Amino acid sequence: MNPKFRLTVFLLCTCIGGIVHAQNSQIDSLKRILRVTKIDTSKINHYNTIADLYKEIDPDSTLFYAQKAAVLSTKANYNFGLATAFTNKGNASIILGNYPVAIKYFKNAQTEFEISLKQNPDQKQYKKGLARSYASSGVVYYEQSDYVMALKNDEKALLLYQEIQEKQGISKVLNNIGTVYKSQQIYPKALYYLKEAYKIQLSLGEENAPITLTNIGVIYFELGEYQNAIDYYKKAEQGFEKSGNKRGFALLNNYLGDYYAKQNNQDLALDYYNKSLHLYDEIQNKFGGSLALFNIGLLLQKQQKYDEALPFALKSLAYAKEVGVQDQTFHTEKLLSELYESLNDSKAALLHYKNYIIARDSINNQETKSKFAKAEMNYEFHKKEAILSESHKREIQFVVFSILGGLLLIVLGLVIYNRMQVKRQLTLKKEVAEYEQKALHLQMNPHFVFNCLSSISSFIVQNGTDSALKYLSKFSKLMRLTLEYSKGSLIPIDKEIESLQNYLELEQLRFHDKFEFEIQSTENVEFNMGLPPLLIQPFVENAILHGMVPKEGKGKISVNFDVQQEQLICTIIDDGIGLSESKLLKENSVTAHQSMALDITKKRLKIMESITSKSAKIEIIELNSAQQKTGTKVTLYLPIQYIP
């Protein structure tokens, strides 16, 4: 994932309501009018106008005047004024990088606008305000990688703008939709919407046009069409120089830096990155500043200027964490690890490498969601085409049936059509369930690998180089098995047993033979039976970490596979400290963390039920003997599945 590709300050510009050249004279003039204004609604409207003018200059002032408008609107019961104040607060929060707060303001604005529309359904300004709040919500969802919700909000905004024939608003939302498709790398659709937006902007003489030109240039850059990219960048550069839009110009400079870096013109690339950073600092935008700092650090690293690169990378990480940009954190942690390694600071390098792994796992989960969002968007697109096709088919059938004059044939045709629809829905549900199963599998893999890497790190610290080499040899064998059989939805039980055997031997080494283990399979288990990969390992891991490790003395873990009542039953038994004592230890531990393995497994079992239409469940009990807790028993009841 490329952080440059997700950074869309342009999108913010387009949805917030346009680039406003707020001159001090305009604001001063409105403040003078406020002193003599007596009517509450007029004062509220003036406060909101001032707040809107300030957003390009000082977003903190936007929040100040919007709050004044909100307080006065509440007293006067003026829903439209309150809705506009919420929108201004949300836009200021976007500029300041506070997205969770921004989405709350926009939802409040939508509620107030809808109340105003119920009271006055024909008010054009109410519909325009509601459309603006939906478009702004789309920005926030976009930055949170929720592309489906981003498109839904953009589509609502587009319908409202089209209803009131607001061409400027239409162009802005078209640009937003194009940017969403751009981030999903659906380039043909992205170019279509962006170029449609640019046509409208050109006809209106809009100052937003440089934003759209830049987005088009970015797509051509990603496609490797560099001449087209620089042509659009240069057109955008001329537009920004006239408009004075600092945020848009800042990101364009970043893209120009990328372009010249790709052309191996490092001096010019560094010059543009520095220009970008200077502009972001001027408007106090740490979201964009983090990217500019990262680019400078990366460029200096390539020039082997590690000491010079380090301060830029550290500041980029601080900004990224402050505004909560996960993918920027991921890339910067990796850069810092490499820089410290080049500077022979192995301790710092290892620390940032671990942070990089944590961020990577989080992003892998986000990417899995994005893939499904992309699949859902494509599904919606094809569904609309299918609906049109079906509609045409029904018209032809109607003509044929009319000629034949057979009412009975019409009824029969409708019955057949309904059956096809039901069958299609069932097929789609099954496909969705299978995609969800794959998504959860992808989510489990990073969790498993991270735990193994943590184990290796711990073992190296505890046992030294020689023992670590032995551990790494076993780990590589385990990883080969895992990678080989984790591609499919099922693996043979004998291979699962081999994998578990390898894993338990690794943990025996790590914890100095703290426990014994045995893995058994009854004669009822057939050789071609299968089960989902990585389903059993997390429970074995829990038995070790939460049962065996805290126990005094040596323990034992048993894993058994059996078939009973047409179900594959897997049982994991340990004689550790038991559930209640383990839970108490985790509550008292400063470093305790919540494992996600159980939640993921429950979801996988639920999906397995929907695919096979057979029961799949998990049972966890604490074993007791003579009023003492003597361990834990985990039983998985799985549907029998065969590997073809």
CATH (domain of 77): 1.25.40.10
Domain termination site, one of 133, 165, 197 = 165
3-state SS string over 104-160?
Answer: HHHHHHHHHHHHHHHHCCCCHHHHHHHHHHHHHHHHHHHHCCCHHHHHHHHHHHHHH
Q: Please say whether the beta carbons of 285 and 250 come within 8 A.
A: yes
Average pLDDT over residues 60-79: 90
443 lies in the same domain as 549: yes
pTM of full prediction above 0.85? no
124 lies in the same domain as 240: no
Distance CA 621, CA 571 (A): 11
Which of residues 224 and 381 earns the better pLDDT score? Answer: 224
Question: Is the backbone of residue 534 left (phi > 0), alpha (psi -120 to 50) or beta?
Answer: left
Q: What is the pLDDT of residue 13?
A: 39
Distance of CA 97 to the CA centre of its chain: 16
Does the residue 92 lie in any domain?
yes
Strand order from edge to edge, sheet including 555-564: 515-521, 555-564, 567-574, 628-639, 617-625
Does the residue 309 lie in any domain?
no
Q: What is the pLDDT of residue 8?
A: 41
Q: What is the pLDDT of residue 283?
A: 83
Closest CA to 136 of 209, 55, 199, 200: 55
| 3-state DSSP assignment of residue 620 | strand
179 lies in the same domain as 113: no
pLDDT tens digits along 526-543: 888 988 887 888 899 889
Does the residue 342 lie in any domain?
no
Which of residues 158 and 479 earns the better pLDDT score? Answer: 158
215 lies in the same domain as 280: yes
138 lies in the same domain as 242: no
As a whole number of Å, the end-to-end CA separation of the chain is 36
421 lies in the same domain as 566: yes
Pairing of strands 555-564, 515-521: parallel
Does the residue 467 lie in any domain?
yes
Closest CA to 138 of 158, 119, 123: 158
Query: Both tokens of residue 230?
Result: 């620089």
Provide the CATH number for the domain around residue 501.
3.30.565.10
The model's confidence at residue 473, banded by pLDDT at 50, 70 and 90, is confident
CA gyration radius for the chain? Answer: 30
Distance CA 145, CA 328 (A): 13
Does the residue 354 lie in any domain?
no
Instruction: Estimate the crossing angle of helix 266-282 against helix 246-262, to 10 degrees.
Output: 160
Average pLDDT over residues 209-222: 90
pLDDT tens digits along 495-524: 889 889 988 988 888 788 889 999 999 999
Q: What is the pLDDT of residue 591?
A: 43
Instruction: Estimate the crossing angle of helix 346-404 against helix 407-485, to 10 degrees.
Output: 160
Average pLDDT over residues 118-127: 86
Q: What is the pLDDT of residue 519?
A: 94
- Within 8 A by CB and 6+ apart from 323, the residues are 97, 98, 286, 287, 290
DSSP codes joined into one string, 491-546: EEHHHHHHHHHHHHHHHHHHTTS-EEEEEEE-TTS-TTEEE-TTSSHHHHHHIIII
465 lies in the same domain as 593: yes
133 lies in the same domain as 202: no
127 lies in the same domain as 256: no
Q: What's the number of domains the chain is made of?
A: 3
For residue 206, pLDDT over 90 is answered with no
Burial state string for 524-536 with b = 16 or more CB within 10 A and e = fewer than 16: ebeeebbbbbbbb
Does the residue 432 lie in any domain?
yes
179 lies in the same domain as 119: no
125 lies in the same domain as 202: no
Does the residue 319 lie in any domain?
no
Distance CA 444, CA 368 (A): 11
Does the residue 391 lie in any domain?
no
For residue 384, pLDDT over 60 is answered with no
Distance of CA 9 to the CA centre of its chain: 17
Residue numbers of the domain that contains 210: 167-284
